[in-house]
Chain A
């Protein structure tokens, strides 16, 4: 279909036509543009606001995870310390066994108790058991005039003290002992350095549970530093 005269006539007439819009038209358009501009500028703000809840959620999850790991690691450390203590006590009692038969009996009882603790694996049970162990060990040692006395200090590490009055040793033997200490003595000395009091430790753990997160972290760091320090000093001694 080709354009005819009517088409071209109407086209010419209409294409040159201009109708002036009303005076209010521009102000309407201006308002529309302003509204569109402001809504466009508000959109990024809303997007930013939407981001924050996710960040809060992520941060809280991370926080919970951190607290959880710290809490559980502390718990496991406590159990390890208690177990170590029991082992150390066991080591001491085996020493005593050679010199005293009653100490040997106590050691047997102690071994039974250790077995129980290993099966139960509970902190509270360990707490009571370790207390019993200590009492048994102390009783047996004090009844038989022991050469070595184990004193349990509630605030500090246990110390092995030698009662000079009950020991009758020649000067040469003593010097020889001092100059050439046996390996077992060295080990026992090392063990003594590492040994920790059970009640003291438990009280510390109880105290730690009540501490704030910051204090817990600081304590943990200081504890780890101490263990590293002790390990280094032991290595140097060897």
Chain B
């Protein structure tokens, strides 16, 4: 019952925001802005740039709110807009060149016993090259398939797989380095 009630409330809120009700828009913004800035930060290293992208993406959210079909979750819809905005920003700003390398390793990296802080994880991701980072974020965190990633980034499926493989390998070596640093072996 509570879920249905929340859904109705969300629907009403969206309807009000469609009618350019500024209070409703602000409510949506304050509800999702913190989470969505976290999403933007995954892709963009500079927090100020990430915030600018967040605002641009929210503008798109409010202007395209009438196109929201209420089929999936509202948060998922906003998240997708954020990701698209980040991808287009990175593509325009950095002009990433993906090496058409289709060799990848089916290795499992399961030796992560230690608990890393959020800053450590963000540091690990930021240390990745942009191409690796994009594919890793989309595949491992957002749950996209290689086919979808290939379409989104304009690369082949094989390239997406190889980029992920390289990203994982690099991350694992970084994790090992961090562990060694923590234990004072390095």
Chain A: CB-nearest residue to B37: A19
- Interchain CB contact under 8 A, B34 and A7: no
- Interchain CB contact under 8 A, A29 and B58: yes
- Interface: B156 (CB within 8 A): no
**Smallest CB–CB gap between A177 and chain B, Å?**
95
Most A CB within 10 A of own CB, among B30, B37, B125: B37
- Interchain CB contact under 8 A, B33 and A4: no
- Checking B51, B106, B109, B168 against A25 with a beta-carbon cut-off of 8 angstroms, the contacting residue is B51
In the complex where A14-B42, A17-B38, A21-B34 touch, is A6 in contact with B59 (Cβ < 8 A)?
Answer: no
- Interface: B178 (CB within 8 A): no
- Interchain CB contact under 8 A, B26 and A26: yes
- Interchain CB contact under 8 A, A19 and B47: yes
In the complex where A6-B109, A15-B141, A21-B54 touch, is A33 in contact with B164 (Cβ < 8 A)?
Answer: no
Bound-complex Cα distance A22 to B118 (A):
20
Bound-complex Cα distance A21 to B32 (A):
11
Chain B: CB-nearest residue to A13: B121
- Interchain CB contact under 8 A, A33 and B62: yes
- Interface: B1 (CB within 8 A): no
**Chain B residues within an 8 Å CB radius of A15:** 141
**Chain A residues within an 8 Å CB radius of B30:** 26
In the complex where A11-B140, A19-B47 touch, is A4 in contact with B34 (Cβ < 8 A)?
Answer: no
In the complex where A5-B109, A9-B112, A10-B125 touch, is A29 in contact with B55 (Cβ < 8 A)?
Answer: yes
Type the 1/0 row for B133-176, where 1 means its CB is closer than 8 Å to any CB of A.
00000011100001000000000000001001100100110010
Mark out the residues of chain B between 82 and 121 whose CB falls within 8 Å of any chain A CB in the assembled complex: 104, 106, 108-112, 116, 118, 121
Chain B: CB-nearest residue to A19: B37
Bound-complex Cα distance A43 to B110 (A):
58
Chain A: CB-nearest residue to B79: A15
In the complex where A19-B41, A20-B34 touch, is A4 in contact with B108 (Cβ < 8 A)?
Answer: yes
**Smallest CB–CB gap between B118 and chain A, Å?**
6
Type the 1/0 row for A50-87, where 1 means its CB is closer than 8 Å to any CB of B.
00000000000000000000000000000000000000
- Interface: B20 (CB within 8 A): yes
In the complex where A18-B34, A19-B47 touch, is A32 in contact with B59 (Cβ < 8 A)?
Answer: yes
- Interface: A211 (CB within 8 A): no
Type the 1/0 row for B33-54, where 1 means its CB is closer than 8 Å to any CB of A.
1110110011000010001001
- Interface: B29 (CB within 8 A): yes
- Interface: B63 (CB within 8 A): yes
Mark out the residues of chain A between 18 and 40 whose CB falls within 8 Å of any chain B CB in the assembled complex: 18-22, 25-26, 28-30, 32-33, 36-37
**Chain A residues within an 8 Å CB radius of B108:** 2, 4-5
- Interface: A3 (CB within 8 A): yes
- Interface: A1 (CB within 8 A): yes
- Interchain CB contact under 8 A, A30 and B22: yes
Shortest Cβ-Cβ A-B pairs, 3 listed: A18-B34, A7-B140, A5-B110
Interface residues of B (CB under 8 A from A): 20, 22, 25-26, 29-30, 33-35, 37-38, 41-42, 47, 51, 54-55, 58-59, 62-63, 104, 106, 108-112, 116, 118, 121, 124-125, 139-141, 146, 161, 164-165, 168, 171-172, 175
Interface residues of A (CB under 8 A from B): 1-7, 9-11, 13-15, 17-22, 25-26, 28-30, 32-33, 36-37
| Contacts A4-B108, A5-B112, A20-B37 supplied; 5 other A-B pairs, CB < 8 Å | A6-B109, A6-B112, A11-B140, A13-B121, A29-B55
A selection of 21 A-B contacts at a CB cut-off of 8 Å is A3-B140, A5-B109, A6-B168, A10-B124, A11-B140, A13-B118, A14-B38, A14-B118, A14-B121, A17-B41, A17-B118, A18-B34, A18-B37, A19-B34, A21-B51, A25-B33, A25-B51, A29-B59, A30-B22, A32-B59, A33-B25
